[in-house]
Structure 1
Amino acid sequence: MMQPERKSFDFAEHRQAYEGFVRLTLIAVFLLLSHLVALAVGGVAHMWFLACLELGLSIVAAVIGAAVPGLDWKPGAAVLAFCLATLAIATG
Structure 2
Amino acid sequence: MTALTKRIPVSEPVWKDLAELRRAGQTYDDILVEMIDLQKKQRLEEDIRQSLEEGDFVPLNEIKARKNKGYATGERTTPKITRNKRQGLPA
* Greater share of residues in strand: 2
TM-score (norm 1): 0.33
TM-score (norm 2): 0.34
Tell me which structure has the larger Cα radius of gyration: 2
* Greater share of residues in helix: 1
